[in-house]
Chains A and B, each alone.
Chain A
């Protein structure tokens, strides 16, 4: 349990920071609204238009989330590999290369099929 005490402390500090900065902003910050400030925020790009009549948000978000989840799962396996790399030797490396190879196949397919294009 003691092992995780620093993480717990870090978590508490992070939570306190988030709560504090959001909670204090209405009292201290200036309120000067303009069009750009009230626009929906989408990582700095022009907001993706909502489809008329069909669906609520674009299916493009869903593809992106799907791609993320698949690559996320692939990446998570890199961690035990990296930690145990010393004992695994060459064979472990080859296994990982094969594993990454299939990711690469997936990547090539998604890229060529336009899955990475936003519009």
Chain B
């Protein structure tokens, strides 16, 4: 049938031979090297899965993933030195540094490179948690066989035989690839493809917990259904914006928006739908409902990876789309985003108080922190040449760095407090942890203080930067709301600390498993970063500030 169509079409349509030869598209392999390195790592991972003997696979896969991420990190540093030239416009240097690559599909600028660095470091730390095998008697924290029924004979057989899913590493690499491309996309189509690459492996990984598998599978299905729904919103929004502006490229959309080329209804609806897709990924209210269930059900290593990585990627994309593409319509979207920011902070902080499960508590904490980051976003302060006031983009990036390390550390500690049935989720069972293991409880307290934003922790500097950016953008009501909700949330965080150190343990009290060097390294690194960024935030803050604004 298709051959017939082709033959008939050739009569009155242009045949292929009439069209001019198109040149090879320009692909800047050097500038894209971090993305290419992660792609290669993922592909090698799948090949290892196909070729390596079973016994050797887990070690080999974790080594491949870690080496790949280190290579990509090195490439990112190289890119940051070589490819971030100042952008000039009519002879004057702008704040932006970098360039568009791959036929305009991606833009590698200061924020991109900063976020790539963050994502790679978070992924590296998370891969150490993925590779932890000291807590389940020599097996990983992931289910042996996802296809067998939970609690059945097949599951016991798989555990006895020591079967493990080693595909988790390539899947995580695919997700990481999507996370890297997402905030770097220069057009909405690339962004959508990246959204799918980052989401699909995460849906899968969420369902692979070794303990409490039904909860884990429920989390995966919920995340998948709601995530697919939000992707559809995002895609429909893209279609409407394309209908308005006639282009997928952010710069062209900006031109159309600034010149108000058509009726505003299409644009407003498109912006609303796109923001639904993005706000879902950052779990902002009212699109937060999936967060507690998914964070609780997913394997804790995946939760850590997701909580830090997805947030970085989604906020990067949110900022790029709205600052670059819809910058000309900011008086339309800023009021709405301010409401979303306040709602997110309030709901996150208030519901947080009533939590009794550690992972759900961290989930609501994630929601509240999304709200704090949204204040800087809704403030939309883009800075001006010659002043050193922190911009919204820099503030968000710095906060993401601070929050990511603390949250990965907190989840890493949550994997260690265990009893016979696996991790102990209920907070009441954490009572007296300070006597059982003062160091661990102390580090957890540090993360809590950082979440609460107590001075001399990284969290304080993070909050200070986002509120300062919001203030510069004349969004002072957000700053007031932010400070108040911080105080509410701080009450809860301090109560957790009191519970760990001053409450009597329930029954035997919690036991703290002795992890391998992997998880210990994760906790040590994240705790160190949380302290260092609290005391000497300067270098990282400068790095975020020097990243400048987005390249259009």
Contact = CB atoms under 8 A, between A and B. Distances in A.
**Main SS of the interface on chain B?**
helix
Q: Which 5 A-B pairs have the closest CB atoms?
A: A91-B24, A112-B50, A108-B50, A109-B50, A87-B21
Contacts of B43: 102, 105
B21 A89 contact: yes
Interface size class of A (residues with CB under 8 A): 20 to 34
A18 B402 CA distance: 66
A7 B5 contact: yes
Nearest to B17: A86
A89 B19 contact: no
A109 B47 CA distance: 7
Contacts of A113: 49-50
Interface of B: 1-2, 4-6, 8-9, 11-12, 16-17, 19-22, 24-25, 43, 46-47, 49-51, 147
A73 B6 CA distance: 20
A97 interface: no
Contact of A111 (B6, B25, B50): B50
Contacts of A87: 16, 19-22
Interface string A78-119: 010001111111110000000000100110110111000000
29 contacts: A3-B9, A4-B5, A7-B1, A7-B4, A7-B5, A10-B1, A59-B147, A79-B2, A83-B16, A85-B16, A86-B16, A86-B17, A86-B21, A87-B16, A87-B19, A87-B22, A89-B21, A90-B24, A91-B24, A91-B25, A105-B46, A105-B47, A108-B47, A108-B50, A108-B51, A109-B47, A111-B50, A112-B49, A113-B49
Contacts of A84: 16, 19
Contacts of B2: 79
Q: Tell me which of A59, A108, A111 has the highest count of chain B C-beta atoms within 10 A of its own C-beta.
A: A108
Given A4-B5, A91-B24, 5 more contacts: A10-B4, A59-B147, A90-B24, A112-B50, A113-B49
Nearest to B43: A105
A63 to B, nearest CB: 10
Contact of A109 (B1, B25, B49): B49
Interface of A: 3-4, 6-7, 10, 59, 79, 83-91, 102, 105-106, 108-109, 111-113
A15 B11 CA distance: 27
A86 B147 CA distance: 46
Contact of B22 (A7, A88, A111): A88
Contacts, number: 56
A46 B262 CA distance: 63
Contacts of B49: 109, 112-113
A64 B11 CA distance: 40
Contacts of A102: 43
A60 to B, nearest CB: 11
A6 B5 CA distance: 9
A112 B51 contact: yes
Contacts of A6: 4, 8
B17 A83 contact: no
Contacts of B6: 83
Contacts of B12: 3
A102 B177 CA distance: 15
Contacts of B16: 83-87
Contacts of A4: 5, 8
A106 to B, nearest CB: 7
Contacts of B147: 59
A8 to B, nearest CB: 11
B105 to A, nearest CB: 13
A4 B19 CA distance: 23
A52 B118 CA distance: 51
A106 B1 contact: no
B19 A3 contact: no
Nearest to B11: A3
A3 B47 CA distance: 46
B217 to A, nearest CB: 15
A111 B50 CA distance: 8
B18 to A, nearest CB: 10
Contacts of B5: 3-4, 7
Contacts of B17: 86
B196 to A, nearest CB: 12
B13 to A, nearest CB: 8
A62 B154 CA distance: 20
A4 B9 CA distance: 9
A106 B42 CA distance: 12
Question: Which of A109, A112, A113 has the most C-beta atoms of chain B within 10 angstroms of its own C-beta?
Answer: A109
A105 B458 CA distance: 43
